[in-house]
């Protein structure tokens, strides 16, 4: 049975790093990176099963990043629970929340849309 989502302790960062290394190696947010403030997580049987980052906030909004779920536990809604929880926290604290996701990440797009995020297409750079 999955536990409750909550802010992880600083001592949990090696566990977050291991989760990201194995299950989300392309994550822009990693423990210790400048601007990444804190990590919410969800444990299953004591194991960190899903997590995300509160990173690079602005005075008018927080940024959800670094979402990861243990591969064998995907499809159980764990990342959605973490993302809903941290999104509520960021909105309560800063008034709004945002995130970035690649267009090809269809599963993540579905989760984010279910919890209320709306797409705003941004082209930051383009190589011709």
The answer as to CATH 3.20.20.70 being correct for domain 6-114 is no
Indicate the average pLDDT of the chain. 93
Q: What is the pTM of this model?
A: 0.89
Binning pLDDT at 50, 70 and 90, where does residue 121 land? Answer: confident
Bridging pattern class, strands 40-44 and 6-7: antiparallel
Q: Which residues pair with 121 in a beta bridge?
A: none
Q: Does the pLDDT at position 33 exceed 70?
A: yes
User: What would the two tokens of residue 65 be?
Assistant: 């990043």
* Separation of alpha carbons 99 and 90, rounded Å: 11
Mean pLDDT of 65-69: 96
Q: Does the pLDDT at position 1 exceed 70?
A: no
Q: Does the pLDDT at position 88 exceed 90?
A: yes
User: What would the two tokens of residue 127 be?
Assistant: 């190589």
User: H or E stretch including 15?
Assistant: helix 13-23
Q: Does the pLDDT at position 61 exceed 80?
A: yes
Binning pLDDT at 50, 70 and 90, where does residue 25 land? Answer: very high
Pair 91, 107: CB distance under 8 Å: no
* Separation of alpha carbons 50 and 70, rounded Å: 6
Burial of 96 (0-12, 13-18, 19+ CB in 10 A): exposed
């Amino acid at each position: 049975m999955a536990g409750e989502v909550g802010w992880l302790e600083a001592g949990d960062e090696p566990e977050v790093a291991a989760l990201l290394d194995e299950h989300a190696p392309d994550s822009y947010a990693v423990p210790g990176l400048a601007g990444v403030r804190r990590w919410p997580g969800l444990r299953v049987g004591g194991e960190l099963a899903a997590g995300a980052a509160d990173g690079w906030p602005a005075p008018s909004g927080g940024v959800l990043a670094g979402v990861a779920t243990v591969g064998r536990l995907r499809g159980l809604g764990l990342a959605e629970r973490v993302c809903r929880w941290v999104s509520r926290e960021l909105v309560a604290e800063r008034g709004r929340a945002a995130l970035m996701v690649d267009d090809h990440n269809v599963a993540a797009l579905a989760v984010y849309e279910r919890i209320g995020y709306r797409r705003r297409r941004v082209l930051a750079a383009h190589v011709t």
